[in-house]
Amino acid sequence: MTAKTGIILAGLLGFLGVAAGAFGAHGLRDRVSPRDLEIWHTGAHYQQLHAVVLLVVALWALSLQARGEATGLHGVAMSLFVAGIAVFSGTLYAITLGGPRVLGAVTPLGGLCLLAGWLTIIVLGLRQVAP
């Protein structure tokens, strides 16, 4: 994934995360159980948090591109965060909106993508050369 794509997706996912949080607080409050509302809010929280992380990684990659340095692992990290948000938060939203509860078995795959994104950042940090 390119830095530009990462920045655009971070903006989109951040926007949608705020919208999801607002929808949960105002649109779902009286329509779903308190437990389902908690599930929805967990999805929105993780989406918002990782949209910010996606933006940071994309900006980091952009700064390296400007210096002519490689950013391959940055693209991997960004892709993992996008996939993680889509699967983790997406399945939680679907479950809350009446989707099959079996989706709960898929949710951890999104969590694994998010964890792998964070591990990729660790690797990037270890490879960082001091100026």
pLDDT, tens only, 73-113 = 999 999 999 999 999 999 999 999 999 999 999 999 999 99
Confidence bin at 70 (pLDDT 50/70/90): confident
pTM for the predicted model, two decimal places: 0.94
With tokens 């709960």, the residue in question is 104
| Helix (H), strand (E), coil (C) string for 18-62 | HHHHHHHHHHCCCCCCHHHHHHHHHHHHHHHHHHHHHHHHHHHHH
Residues 118/79, Cβ–Cβ less than 8 Å: no
Model confidence at 130: pLDDT above 70 = no
| pLDDT for the residue 131 | 60
Per cent of the chain over pLDDT 90 is 89
Confidence bin at 67 (pLDDT 50/70/90): confident
Residue whose C-alpha is closest to residue 85's, from 11, 1, 17, 31: 17
